[in-house]
Structures are given as C-alpha cells and as structure tokens.
Structure 1
Amino acid sequence: MNMRLLVITVCATLLGGCVSNSDDPCEKVWSDVGEADGKLGFAADRVEFHQTQCGDKVDVAMWQQGRQKGLAWYCRPEHLYLAGRSGEEYRGVCPNDVQARRLFEQGRQGWTDQ
C-alpha cells in the first residue's frame, strides 16, 4: 500500500469514528461519516451497514450529504488513477463513470506492470 493511500485510509477511518461527547458509539456526526465513506469510494448502500449498527440513530440525509462531498474528492482523476495503481477496486460510484473506469484501469495497468 503506498504511503498516500495509507494516510488517506487512516484519516477516513478517523473521520468515520467521530463521536460526540456521549458514550453512545452511534452518536456520530453523520455528515463526517458519510464524507469518510465517500472518500473511500463506498456505494450508497454503505448506509445500511451503519443502520445495522445504529438503527434509526443514523441521519441518512446528513450521511448522504457528507458522502457526496467525499465522492467529489474520490472521483478526481488523479485519485482514480492512483487508486487503480495501488490495486484498489472501483465500485462504480462516480458520476463520470466511463471516464472514471478508464482512469482507474490506466492506473491498474501501471500496477500490474510493477
């Protein structure tokens, strides 16, 4: 795993774990959780994972808003290329899906040539 990806993953994990001062692990800033999920390229059904853990405490609208912000970062051409190069899997989450897949595959080709 390249260093940039490692740092991104650690930061996203930390964002995903944000909690309030409450002892309840489901009292999260759901827009931050969604942003972290988006930056990791998770599909919209990722919210179901959170709902399994936290039920109706998940603010789906805030999660979706945050995820869109995270996807804006994830879907940048340079990130898609680097993600493909590091061997990640693309989940078809970018609005410019054809271009995103092409960039990802170009990066993957560089990964397989290593």
Structure 2
Amino acid sequence: MKGFKALLLTVIPLLFACANNDEAMVANGDWNGIGYADAIKGKTQRSYSRLTELGAVNMADYELGYSKGLAEYCNPDFAYQIGLSGQYYEGVCSGTKEGQRFRMEWQRGWNEQN
C-alpha cells in the first residue's frame, strides 16, 4: 500500500503539470478539455461570462468535460493524497454521493502535511 501511495503522490502532480493551457485548448476548440482540466484540478466550474473572455465558448462541451473530470476528482480513495500534496479543496465535491467522505479524507491528508 505504501508503494501505491508513493506512486499516486508522484503521478498526481505530473497530471497537473502536463495539462494543456487554456489558450491552446481554446485555439483547438477543446471546451470539453477545458472543463475536464478545471474539474480534475478541483477548481469550481467557471461561469459562461468568464469562459467567453477566452473565446467563443461551447458551454455544453465545457459542462460535459467538467462533469467527467469532477467524477474522477471526487473519488474519496484519492482525497487523502490530494490533501497530503497541499492542494487546497474548494468544496467542489459537496453534494456528490461521496462528498462528505471525500472531504474527511482530504482533511486528514491536509492536516498531516502541515
């Protein structure tokens, strides 16, 4: 189990580092990717007006990507590692089936890293 945790602590930051920046995804019309990237980083969903600052937004694609990323991010089995890595939790999992468990596991990791 220690090896698994170490692997996750190595892989999670790499996932964030490898994410394309917004400008590149906008240039490719990848609103699904922008939504997914926001959610997998634990960011709150952007409003339509904020997204239009980037370009001609496809809100349906953004929301679809965000939903997919949120489902992956809100997995309570990884919440401890997210907290332990020092990533602040913005509450995006509240209201999900495992939201309370996610918060508790994240808090446990967060408390240990400080």
Fold shared per TM-score above 0.5? yes
Q: Alpha-carbon deviation of 1:4?
A: 2.1
1:14 aligns with 2:20: yes
Letter of the structure 1 residue corresponding to residue 34 of structure 2:
V
Q: Alpha-carbon deviation of 1:79?
A: 2.2
1:62 is matched with 61
Q: 1:85 to 1:47 in 2, by over 3 A?
A: farther
1:110 pairs with 100, 107, 112, which one? 112
CA–CA separation in structure 2 for the residues paired with 1:83 and 1:48: 29
Number of aligned pairs? 103
Q: Alpha-carbon deviation of 1:32?
A: 1.4
Q: Alpha-carbon deviation of 1:3?
A: 2.8
Q: TM-score with structure 2 length normalisation?
A: 0.76
Q: Alpha-carbon deviation of 1:111?
A: 1.1
Asked if the contact 2:31–2:57 (Cα under 8 Å) also holds between the matched residues in 1, the reply is yes
Q: Alpha-carbon deviation of 1:48?
A: 4.3
Asked if the contact 1:9–1:40 (Cα under 8 Å) also holds between the matched residues in 2, the reply is yes
1:85 aligns with 2:76: no
Which consecutive aligned stretches of 4+ in structure 1 deviate over 3 angstroms post-superposition?
Answer: 15-19, 46-49
Q: Classify the secondary structure of the residue corresponding to 1:14.
A: coil
CA–CA separation in structure 2 for the residues paired with 1:3 and 1:51: 34
1:35 is matched with 36
User: Is there any run of 5+ residues in structure 1 with no aligned partner, and where?
Assistant: 20-24
CA–CA separation in structure 1 for the residues paired with 2:40 and 2:22: 10
Computed over aligned residues only, the root mean square deviation of the Cα atoms, in angstroms, reads: 2.2
Q: Alpha-carbon deviation of 1:90?
A: 0.6
Q: TM-score with structure 1 length normalisation?
A: 0.76
After superposing the two structures, state which structure 1 stretch, 90-99 or 63-72, moved more.
Answer: 90-99
